[in-house]
Structure 1
Amino acid sequence: MSRNATPQSADGLLADLRREVDGEVRFDPGTRGAYSTDASNYRQVPIGVVVPRTVVAGARAIEICARHRAPVLSRGGGTSLGGQGTNAAVVLDWSKYCNRVVSVSPKNRTCVVEPGIALDDLNRHLAEHGLQFGPRPSTHGQCTIGGMIGNNSCGASAQLHGKTADNVSRLEIVTYGGLRAWLGRMDEAELTERIEFGGQLSDLCRRLREVRDRYQDEIRRRFPDIPRRVSGYNLDSLLGDDFDLAGLLVGSEGTLATVLHAELDLVPVVPAKAMLARGYDDIAAAADAVPRILAHCRPVQVEAIDDELVHFMREQGQHLGSVAMLPRGRSWLLVQFGGDSTESADRQLAELLRALGKSTSDGDVAVSDDPEQEQRMLNAREAGLGVTANPPDMPESWEGWEDSAVAPEVLGDYLRDLLGLFDEYGYERPALYGHFGHGCVHVRIPFRLKTARGVETFRDFVRSAADLVTAHGGSLSGEHGDGQARGELLERMFGPRIVTAFAEVKAAFDPADRMNPGKVVAPHRVDEDLRLGADYRPSTPRTFLGFPDDGGSFTRAAQRCVGVGNCRRSTGGVMCPSYMVTREEEHSTRGRARLLFEMLHGHADSPVQDGWRSTAVRDALDLCLACKGCKSDCPAGVDMATYKAEFLAQHYRHRIRPRTHYSLGWLPVFAQLARHAPGAVNLAMRTPVIADLGKRLAGIAPERTPPPFAHRGFRQEWQRRGPAPAPGDRNAVLLWPDTFTEHFEPRIARSAAALLEDAGLRVAVPDDPVCCGLTWFSTGQLNTTKRVLQGSLRTLRPWLEAGTPIAGLEPSCSALLRSGSRELLPDDEDARRLRDQFATFAEVLQARAPEGWRPPQVGGQAIVQQHCHQHAVLGFDADAQLLDRAGLDADVLDSGCCGLAGDFGFERGHYEVSMACAERVLLPAVRSASQDTAVVADGFSCREQIRHGEPERAPVHLAELLGSRLLDDY
């Protein structure tokens, strides 16, 4: 098969896989586009993807591929930075189904797992035993054990626990030739016995012993004796007393065999930790200090960040709390200690300070033994990859020399030389950070990968950098492996004889070169298969939205994704709800971003060739709930909800839209009409025959019951109360009567108004109906959204000109006014004023209530469903403080999106995914809460989902919970 084999050339392969494999076999354009790249600079469109339901099915898929001579790529979380996770091959994705913990032996501190289990999921399973798998990369939420084995992953905790290779006991593997066996350590007698036994495994062991015997002197001479040598095959694992085949396979990047099961060595969880942050004049000075630190202690981790990384975080508004904790300095070391108790960890920290002649009173020192505070400090380090991808004040930055490593003793000198190399090649000074306790340096460099000259300079630079790190006795890779980024450079580090030995090992396992070909052995050139390259020629479409954070370019916005896969977490946070319940790459933020990239970037071999009309992109975006979790949780700031709105606007331009775009998209208009006879409309919606017909015509899921319209709107009631405050009134606040509150739950607005007035503020409402246009925005009717929003701005103009605060109640509407309006009307001054003056009602109370004012003392217990847009755009601090001041013991659920998400959960075809989102955390928490526990949810969709899933519970808005007892005065 060719490097870019097409599905047509694989028809027989596809048929056999579908007939014989227990799994999902996908050769469609959407799947191939979503898997076309990993987190690297490289792109190769796969032949197709197989998602096996069992490891036996995965082995069967490889057997069928061998029958058709089709190459195979075994993939974990797809977060590889060297290009080893992309290939023109049949991709095996183990992460959806093959993610079980097969067994745990607490006594032996071992476990057996399937390759697709994510590291955090494994460690959650092991927590009851007080054990964990030691290595912990920054992608610990989504990287799989199989991928960690493939790349010999490390992470910050490798300072204490070593690399993955140091923590693997045995591996069950299958080769392309059909050998399936458990491989581990053998002494010389066992090795001889194994060879004499005969068969495929015996032949493999014989050939590997010959490689060892032929090259052992060269291996000892050329393999650097440093903590972080990850480049090349681990030929050194064949030396000494143990002939360790598992150790050889770790770090081989799926080029030798596929892992079916892994027996892992486990370590105890460290009970207590303490953190020292020490500031230095520059990053090289911080590196110079590492050997002295290591001479006095055995820390859990020694991490480093520099001032350029901190500058990027400040400019992008990310991890500002982490940055604020750093002491004086322009570069910092974060040294963490572990012990059986807090006192033990603190004692180690104090001893190091004394050895360094420092104290906690020094301005360049900060300490902590609070686990949450320590993690916030480390968040600044873990954020490196995301915040350096699209840095302010410099060109886009790329991997390519992102994890070189040297001995800690020479790290400072290496960094000075590396900085000199940046100057020599004319690259702007990038941010430097990394695992300095092991001499490993992370960096993204502003390579110009869109021109022939830029690509040529990139190639020359990495060759010079390879020579530089080798001259310092180091390794091309200290963490991320070789792949295509460094495969071509291995000879510069190891010399031709060792590279020949690598080829002989490859031939012993995979003589046909079908396992992840083009990586490590016989590698493609470092400047081949680039995602961008000299032929980079993306489309630059005119768009409805402004994309002000990306220079007005949708193309650049869609390129934000760097592939680290935070959106593929199975628990915690908001991003990405559709992935959490489907575990499908196409339904992750990253998968959608990849398809948008394919749609826009004009590659001749792209599986997405129909631009805005693409059904593959449409289908991938169909399950996007527009929760905006990615806007805050994605380290690169991908905002898929906004991209979806733009795509829908373009996809359905001058075309008939889905029925829900008319029924739910135009809800504000229908709500205005319904106010003339709300009782009759409500009766019709609850009359079975009429309701069923209406739902079919409107495209609404049959399981859903639309909420009833209120008999009287809030605005009407309020305007009858008498004279309203004028726009210039210093105590005035304008309450925004959003469509959902005004037409469905006006009691919430009455409660909010009562609270605001109880705090001494004078509440006004607009004279005419207003709307943010949210329902049109979420269905991609963007020209209508703009007209609606502009009309509302005209109504608000006197209040905007007077600078009157405007308070919102519905989080999704508030988020659109405060953030989305910048995309819609980036140059409109009234829209800018609105963004500046708009706040949530809790924020208004926090800022404007007189000192000493207290909300009604509600007391008791509450569980709180934080709306996605509160999490992503608005913030929740003011709400949390208001809950606390009201005497509530509130449990804010880590539940992510409720699953209803505006129109999403009402649309026919979305019900199963919608309810699966709710059943992850939210609905079980509601069911388990006592009847006297308040269920608080500010989002209209959240309350509707709770009412649908648990009809006996009555969720309330925070304003309603606190202000309802004041309504007797109204």
Structure 2
Amino acid sequence: MRSLQADLAERVRGEVRFDAGTRAAYSTDASNYRQVPVGVVIPSTVDDAERAVAVCREHGAPVLARGGGTSLAGQCCNTAVVLDFTKYCHRLVSVDPDRRTALVEPGIALDELNRLVAGHGLMVGPKPATHVSCTVGGMIGNNSCGSTAQAYGKMSDSVLRLEILTYDGLRTWVGPTVEEDYQRVLTEGGRKADLYRGLRALRDRHLAEIRTRYPDIPRRVSGYNLDSLLPENGFDVARALVGSESTLVTVLHAEITLFPVPRERVLVVLGYPTIFAAADAVPAVLPHRPVALEGLDRQLVELEHTQRIASDAIRQLPPGEGWLMVQFAGDDHDEVAERAHRLVDDVKRHSDKVTVAFLDDPRHEDQLWQAREASLGATAFPRGGTETHEGWEDAAVPPGRLGAYLRDFRELLREFGYQDASLYGHFGQGCVHTRIPFDLRTADGVAAYRRFVERAADLVVSYGGSLSGEHGDGQSRGELLTRMFGEQIVAAFGEMKALFDPDDRMNPGKVVRPNPLDGQLREGVDYRPAQLPVHFAYPRDGHRFSHAAARCVGVGRCRGLDGDDVMCPSFRATREEEHSTRGRARLLFEMVRGEVVSGWRSTEVRDALDLCLACKGCRSDCPVGVDMATYKAEFLSHHYARRLRPRAHYSMGWLPLWARIASLAPGAVNSLTHAPVLDRLAKWAAGISAERALPWFAEQSFSAWHRRHSPPRSDHRRAVVLWPDTFTNYFHPSVGRASVEVLEDAGFRLAIPRSTVCCGLPWISTGQLGVAKRVLRRTLAVLRPALRSGTPVVVVEPSCAAVFRSDLPELLYGDEDAARLSGQVRTLAQLLVERTPDWRVPVGRKALVQVHCHQHAVLGFDAERNLMNRCEVDATVLKSGCCGLAGNFGFERGHHAVSMACAEHALLPAVRDADRDTLVLADGFSCRTQVAQADTGHVPLHLAEILAAGVRLQNSAGA
């Protein structure tokens, strides 16, 4: 291995990584399987990838070309050299709007490609649920589909040409091959001629079987596409390679078809008494030519409801126990709407039991589609139920037989005790998704898993279906292909493998000569994770850190580069797997497993967590609720226990103490820390980035001001506690004063704690959890009278409010006062919306709003939207993700570049582009500091400050 690594490092210009941390991050995909790679190569160009394969060939090392790593059948993990194209090889090489084609490199993510071609009014046809992270190369490897395949087909239907690289070094373009092209290839001779000659001979030997054994259904993804080699299909070598899961070639470039983006869309949701009745209705819906036809059952909806996933969308479903989501699209709204109405009239004529919801508001449609895409998150860890797994999650049958198949499949689930599995999927093409509560940790459970999938395979074949309708064969279904295709076709797959990869070096053990479906399990009968003592309670994970570390199921939403999600800012900045939420989760999983990396002292885990901003975005955005900020705090606590910590842990981590001391002589402290020489010395001593400006302490703290403040006299005012957080108290007291002005105008009687208190966040974020718990217990003692009386605690700093809402009850698990504070804490807007529904002030300004990450993840922003609308604030809420400062993160030495890359992703460009009359609102101290230090020409404000200005305006007008 060392000589392989050395040769790769010498000849590959990209990155060659054989370290334990990288190998751990790539040890699995979204499947049940785990195979630690030999190493990872991140090629700088596709030519670099060619050099990497050449080195591997010289050493006889197997190769796996990997896309977004979201595969569910185990095809993206192997004991091989993994080629990851996503960091550098993600160019849109060219787009031809007239021909509606694009030439791309394999590492480009689907959403990114669609963003780049949207200006031409074009898009890629297939759109899997993992569209934020799946790559075109991965989609080609897996023959991806998604809901839009109803209108645009599988990825094989979009591929025009591929530039491929075989393991033995042939680099060539392939595509449809008319006779003239075929003869030219033979005339030119060489490896390509041998390959084409062999493919035609293979096809001719198995011609009858290929024509008769492939099921004639829209969703056949299993097996190699030998049918693309048929004369009537143009001997299309490119399409024959689509779906081969990196077992035959490495794709270097792809030319694909694009489709016009429809301008109008309408969604009809049909409700039925059962999911079986919904499936029975599919043949009647298909003649209306929808662009998508999805099904979902009551169990899925209830799971989403109990986990508060897509709750707004669920409320839009019509009555029923099973639903069909039927989407129509086109360029003329009236024509699209008419088609939808014709469908509704038609189904009502045939059944009096169908219910209907008719949606033509794009926002409502998007909410329902997001609910459908949230299915994996809802079903992976059902609240109060058993965790579920892939393994039999995407079989497809003829759409006309779907209802009967589902009834038989449900009976099979009941027979094996898996009756809690929900059923949903691409019903218009007969493809059914489910996750099943397999027991993969005991010998009996694994044996039952094998028996079940063998029975399920026979059932699908009896209906003329395909073992896989979307996710591919990999290791989950490779062993079962003979049941579907028969011995002769499976032998033909082996012959095709031998033509392209005679030494079985391309992703071995998948599809052809596959590893056993119950082998290399990520858990398995030998799984025995370390049960480590912890500070947080992990109530969602049975109070076990090992379960929390295994929570990630690999769907890769954290690898999205754009969109509404906050997570994962460090991945957006680095495009590094180990700096995604998923990559870090994999390292933690391997840490508790103890084979590749081991224990709390692991430097590999520490380095991967170093660039985690602890933004908490994953807590809400991750489909299964991975909470990396909490895991990071836990890890740091144990990693540095009884050891010297980084300097920033003593400076930024103890900021509340230093700020309190500085408040005794803020002018002197400011003069000292901002003097040119002392500034550099102070930053070095504190472990703060030299590029950062140290914040200025206020001349008078908020608490000192409040002691001299004379509140309005009234016995009828409602009592609230206003929390004096460190940032408001010592740095931005104007926010506290504005909050007092607003709350008193709204009729509240304010108190602030007389003793020094803190939420403990600086100690939590640096993993000083013992100190944090002591600080929080003291805070609870100070607040006890207010907690026992049910008095609301208003917190104007979102990160502090989020601590009280989430971190506090998990750190002091079982403490009733902690639970009370969690329930009584409110943001300023939440209190005003809940308790003073008629209060408003005339702000009347445009505003650009940056939502604090912790507010997004824990508290929500609905109340703020409501209040701004009520006060005539024309607010544009940015979809910018994390500001990049994230408390202490952006101040720490070594983090400045990533911090600014996060800010430049969307926030700072939007602020710079805003006109001078537009307010910039950011309730988080970190967000305001990042904007202020970036010299954007705008002074960011807290919502309280603009509401207070409205109070003064209203009062002056009244006077």
Same fold (TM over 0.5): yes
Counterpart CA distance in 1 for 2:952 and 2:192 is 80
Counterpart CA distance in 2 for 1:181 and 1:725 is 84
Structure 2 counterparts to residues 695-714 of structure 1, below 5 A: 695-714=683-702
Counterpart CA distance in 1 for 2:556 and 2:711 is 55
Q: Pick closer, same or farther for the CA change 1:905–1:396 going to 2, 3 Å.
A: same
Instruction: State the shift of 1:356 in Å.
Output: 1.4
- SS of the residue 2:294 aligns to: strand
- Aligned pair 1:240/2:231, yes or no? yes
Query: 2:190 is matched with which residue: 199, 205, 210?
Result: 199
Counterpart CA distance in 2 for 1:129 and 1:722 is 62
Query: 1:833 is matched with which residue: 812, 820, 823?
Result: 820
**Match of 1:3?**
none
- Aligned pair 1:937/2:925, yes or no? no
Structure 2 counterparts to residues 244-259 of structure 1, below 5 A: 244-259=236-251
**Match of 1:889?**
874
Counterpart CA distance in 1 for 2:456 and 2:908 is 54
Q: Deviations over 1:421-474 (max 9, x none)?
A: 112222232011000000000000000001111111111111111111011100
Query: 1:594 is matched with which residue: 586, 593, 610?
Result: 586
Q: Is the Cα–Cα contact under 8 Å of residues 698 and 733 in structure 2 kept in the other structure? A: yes
Q: Is the Cα–Cα contact under 8 Å of residues 395 and 466 in structure 2 kept in the other structure? A: yes
**Match of 1:960?**
945
- Aligned pair 1:14/2:5, yes or no? yes
Query: 1:809 is matched with which residue: 775, 796, 802?
Result: 796
**Match of 2:105?**
114
**Match of 2:303?**
312
Q: Is the Cα–Cα contact under 8 Å of residues 719 and 765 in structure 1 kept in the other structure? A: no
**Match of 2:677?**
689
Q: Deviations over 1:262-299 (max 9, x none)?
A: 0101111111110110111111111111011113x110
**Match of 1:344?**
335
TM-score with structure 1 setting the length: 0.97
Q: Is the Cα–Cα contact under 8 Å of residues 567 and 618 in structure 2 kept in the other structure? A: yes
**Match of 2:774?**
787
**Match of 1:878?**
863
Q: Is the Cα–Cα contact under 8 Å of residues 750 and 967 in structure 1 kept in the other structure? A: no
- Aligned pair 1:608/2:600, yes or no? no
Q: Is the Cα–Cα contact under 8 Å of residues 457 and 467 in structure 2 kept in the other structure? A: yes
Q: Pick closer, same or farther for the CA change 1:389–1:591 going to 2, 3 Å.
A: same
Q: Pick closer, same or farther for the CA change 1:575–1:358 going to 2, 3 Å.
A: farther
Instruction: State the shift of 1:238 in Å.
Output: 0.7
Counterpart CA distance in 1 for 2:271 and 2:403 is 15
Instruction: State the shift of 1:169 in Å.
Output: 0.5
Query: 2:910 is matched with which residue: 914, 917, 925?
Result: 925
Counterpart CA distance in 1 for 2:262 and 2:527 is 49
Counterpart CA distance in 2 for 1:357 and 1:453 is 48
- SS of the residue 2:295 aligns to: strand
- Aligned pair 1:484/2:470, yes or no? no
- Aligned pair 1:556/2:542, yes or no? no
Structure 2 counterparts to residues 417-428 of structure 1, below 5 A: 417-428=408-419
Q: Which amino acid is 2:512 matched to?
A: V
Instruction: State the shift of 1:194 in Å.
Output: 2.3
Q: Pick closer, same or farther for the CA change 1:363–1:255 going to 2, 3 Å.
A: closer
Q: Which amino acid is 2:948 matched to?
A: G
Paired-residue identity, % = 58
Counterpart CA distance in 2 for 1:68 and 1:199 is 24
- Aligned pair 1:623/2:608, yes or no? no
Query: 1:529 is matched with which residue: 520, 526, 535?
Result: 520
- SS of the residue 2:141 aligns to: helix
Q: Which amino acid is 1:40 matched to?
A: S
Counterpart CA distance in 2 for 1:750 and 1:577 is 33
Q: Pick closer, same or farther for the CA change 1:370–1:550 going to 2, 3 Å.
A: same
Instruction: State the shift of 1:547 in Å.
Output: 0.9
Counterpart CA distance in 2 for 1:725 and 1:635 is 50
Q: Is the Cα–Cα contact under 8 Å of residues 327 and 363 in structure 1 kept in the other structure? A: no
Q: Is the Cα–Cα contact under 8 Å of residues 623 and 910 in structure 1 kept in the other structure? A: yes
Counterpart CA distance in 2 for 1:670 and 1:125 is 48
Query: 1:576 is matched with which residue: 568, 572, 582?
Result: 568
Q: Deviations over 1:603-631 (max 9, x none)?
A: xxx3213x100000000000000001101
Q: Deviations over 1:669-715 (max 9, x none)?
A: 11111111111111111112222111111101111121111122222
Q: Deviations over 1:515-553 (max 9, x none)?
A: 011000010000111000000101111101111121211
- SS of the residue 1:388 aligns to: helix
Q: Pick closer, same or farther for the CA change 1:429–1:966 going to 2, 3 Å.
A: closer
Structure 2 counterparts to residues 95-244 of structure 1, below 5 A: 95-241=86-232, 242-244=234-236
Q: Is the Cα–Cα contact under 8 Å of residues 843 and 950 in structure 2 kept in the other structure? A: no
Structure 1: tracts of 5 or more residues without a match: 1-9
Counterpart CA distance in 1 for 2:708 and 2:679 is 35
Counterpart CA distance in 2 for 1:448 and 1:566 is 26
- SS of the residue 1:329 aligns to: coil
Q: Which amino acid is 2:719 matched to?
A: A
Q: Is the Cα–Cα contact under 8 Å of residues 308 and 431 in structure 1 kept in the other structure? A: yes
Q: Deviations over 1:291-321 (max 9, x none)?
A: 11113x1101000111111111111111111
**Match of 1:859?**
844
**Match of 2:935?**
950
Counterpart CA distance in 1 for 2:484 and 2:66 is 27
Q: Is the Cα–Cα contact under 8 Å of residues 273 and 353 in structure 2 kept in the other structure? A: no
Q: Is the Cα–Cα contact under 8 Å of residues 724 and 764 in structure 1 kept in the other structure? A: no
Counterpart CA distance in 2 for 1:712 and 1:267 is 62
Instruction: State the shift of 1:359 in Å.
Output: 12
Instruction: State the shift of 1:782 in Å.
Output: 0.7
Instruction: State the shift of 1:853 in Å.
Output: 2.4
Counterpart CA distance in 2 for 1:154 and 1:776 is 46
**Match of 1:847?**
834
Q: Pick closer, same or farther for the CA change 1:345–1:817 going to 2, 3 Å.
A: same
Q: Pick closer, same or farther for the CA change 1:103–1:725 going to 2, 3 Å.
A: same
**Match of 2:811?**
824
**Match of 2:457?**
466
CA-based RMSD of the aligned residues comes to 1.7
- Aligned pair 1:912/2:897, yes or no? yes
- Aligned pair 1:677/2:649, yes or no? no
Instruction: State the shift of 1:358 in Å.
Output: 5.8
**Match of 1:643?**
631
**Match of 1:5?**
none
Query: 1:69 is matched with which residue: 60, 63, 80?
Result: 60
**Match of 1:743?**
730
Counterpart CA distance in 1 for 2:374 and 2:47 is 38
Q: Which amino acid is 2:494 matched to?
A: A
**Match of 2:649?**
661
- SS of the residue 1:252 aligns to: coil
- SS of the residue 1:204 aligns to: helix
**Match of 1:40?**
31
**Match of 1:382?**
373
Query: 2:346 is matched with which residue: 349, 352, 355?
Result: 355
Instruction: State the shift of 1:966 in Å.
Output: 4.6
Q: Which amino acid is 1:253 matched to?
A: E
Structure 2: tracts of 5 or more residues without a match: none
Q: Is the Cα–Cα contact under 8 Å of residues 742 and 944 in structure 2 kept in the other structure? A: yes
**Match of 1:799?**
786
Counterpart CA distance in 1 for 2:117 and 2:312 is 31
